[in-house]
Structure 1
Amino acid sequence: MAELNTGDSGGKKGGGKVRSKKANAKVDLTAMVDLAFLLITFFMLTTSLSKPQSMDLGLPDKNKEDKPDDIIKTDQKRTMTIIMGDNDKIKWFHGLLNAPEPGGAPSSAVYGRNGLRKEILKRVASVGEYAKTRPTYKKGDGLIVIIKPTKKSTYKNLVDILDEMAICKVPTYAIVNDITPEEQKLVDEMNK
């Protein structure tokens, strides 16, 4: 049992009037301790903790082998390739690399609202208009982004690009780790 002793409250020692000794006042704190634990338990059980936020990634089957008939041909006018280098450097191009149509010359960009996001939003709008003119148009048709991280790129930069995909509402994107020799030359120039 928890208690609080208030000390001796008797009369003066030595001479004078003799007063009767008062009994020590005791306060029982058991109920307060029980109440504190009940309140702590109540608040722990009723509060909601922040839930982790995650992004869905569709990963290929580990046991499935690529067959020539599994390769999907895509319209190059709908694709955008982003190559990630070290030190937060990005190169991107629309369509095929160094193709005369539709502007396959590589461009540099920076992460953020005025850099990569601005370019992706432009491409989403232009490809959306282009896709609607096609006779085989389906609702999910739109920009296809191919993200190619290099060995020197960071995980933070990959997450930043995935966030940009969600912000810009890109319907289809893929993370690809095979870099062509032409793209490797671009990466070497970028990392200089």
Structure 2
Amino acid sequence: MKNLPQKVRSKKLSSRVDLTAMVSVSFLLIIFFMVVGELSKPKTMDFSLPNYDNEERFMGCVLHDENRTLTLLLDNDNQIITYSGLLFYPIEGPKKVQYGKSGIRKELLERNKKVLQYSAQRGKPGRGITVIIKPSKKSNYGNLVDILDEMEITNIDSYVIVPEFTPEESKLLASN
């Protein structure tokens, strides 16, 4: 008899898969999504809220430590109108000041010094002035940037930009 050809059996290769690359890609994706998740959270800024110790009611408004507020109304021709407290019950009445070292910067430094003394007397040392910046439609963007620069120079970190005017403030701007 003739030798029948033997069946050639194929050699079975190991079915082991190297997952090293898959693991490193997985870790990179996990890190990527953790970083993106952390960066996409909204950032908020701390704002020094008024003192709520003793609330007073005056003309339908709740006055919360208005001694610590200074309002800046930015007008055209590089004019600033400032007042402390509330316009209808001001601590310091409205007055015009100019930009610069001898104008608004001097005003901010003096007012902040008074407020720091006031806060220290009331048992809350270190609570400085809160500045409310209200740019009018007539003021330009450069004026707003200049005021923000003054906040940085005078180390006032508690300020807010409010685009709305009260009717009294609108009348005050129109009269000047």
User: So what's the TM-score if we normalise by structure 2?
Assistant: 0.62
Shift of the 167–153 alpha-carbon distance from structure 1 to 2, 3 Å rule, reads: same
Is 1:95 the equivalent of 2:85?
yes
Please show how residues 1-192 of structure 1 align to structure 2 within 5 Å: 58=45, 74-99=64-89, 102-103=91-92, 105-135=93-123, 137=124, 139=126, 141-190=127-176
Unaligned runs of 5+ in 2: 1-43, 48-61
Q: Which has the higher strand share?
A: 2
Tell me the SS of whatever aligns to 2:133. strand
Unaligned runs of 5+ in 1: 1-56, 61-71
* Structure index of larger Rg: 1
Q: Which has the higher helix share?
A: 2
Aligned length: 119
- Give the root-mean-square deviation of aligned CA atoms: 2.2
Work out whether residues 116 and 125 of structure 2, in 8 Å CA contact, stay in contact via their aligned partners in 1.
Answer: no
Q: Deviations over 1:69-119 (max 9, x none)?
A: xxx97410000000011111110001111425x22x100000000001111
Displacement of 1:189: 1.6
Aligned mates of 1:163, 1:58 — CA distance in 2: 18
Aligned mates of 1:129, 1:157 — CA distance in 2: 29
User: So what's the TM-score if we normalise by structure 1?
Assistant: 0.57
Aligned-partner residue type, residue 176 of structure 1: V
Shift of the 149–58 alpha-carbon distance from structure 1 to 2, 3 Å rule, reads: farther
Displacement of 1:155: 0.4
Displacement of 1:171: 2.8
Displacement of 1:154: 0.4
- Identity of counterpart residues, as a percentage? 42
Aligned mates of 2:168, 2:46 — CA distance in 1: 26
Aligned mates of 1:142, 1:73 — CA distance in 2: 17
Q: Deviations over 1:7-54 (max 9, x none)?
A: xxxxxxxxxxxxxxxxxxxxxxxxxxxxxxxxxxxxxxxxxxxxxxxx
